[in-house]
Amino acid sequence: MKTIRAVFALPILAMALASMPGLSQDHQAQGQRDNHTYKQHSEWKAGAKIQQDDWNRGDKVDYQKNHLRRPPAGNEWRQIEGNFVLANQDGVIVSVRRAPHGN
């Protein structure tokens, strides 16, 4: 009886383990992005307005820890897809810098 259970349990366990990487990829495909992997955005430049959904998915950044200049009042640094973006409350971009790899 134990042998029969083992014969059925092992393939089921193998299938469950094999499907786990696919589940994490589905989660990534649903709008979750790695903010530390660089992606060039030519539309992000000083004076342009950043899209609200891009801004909202960004991670708030400690400017001192990342060797960035102190943001003026009403401005904030965020890391979005490997870019440090400084923008004001209206979404107008003040500065964009490429974040160091692995940051």
Tell me the per-residue pLDDT of 56-72, one tens digit each, with 9 for 90 and over: 999 999 999 999 999 99
CATH of 34-103, one of 3.40.50.1970, 3.10.450.160, 3.40.50.2300, 3.10.180.10: 3.10.450.160
Q: Locate tokens 């209206």: which residue? A: 90
Alpha-carbon distance of 17 to 89, in angstroms, equals: 45
For the chain, give the percent of residues with pLDDT over 70.
69
What's the one-letter identity of residue 90? D
Q: How confident is the model at residue 24 (pLDDT cuts 50, 70, 90)?
A: very low
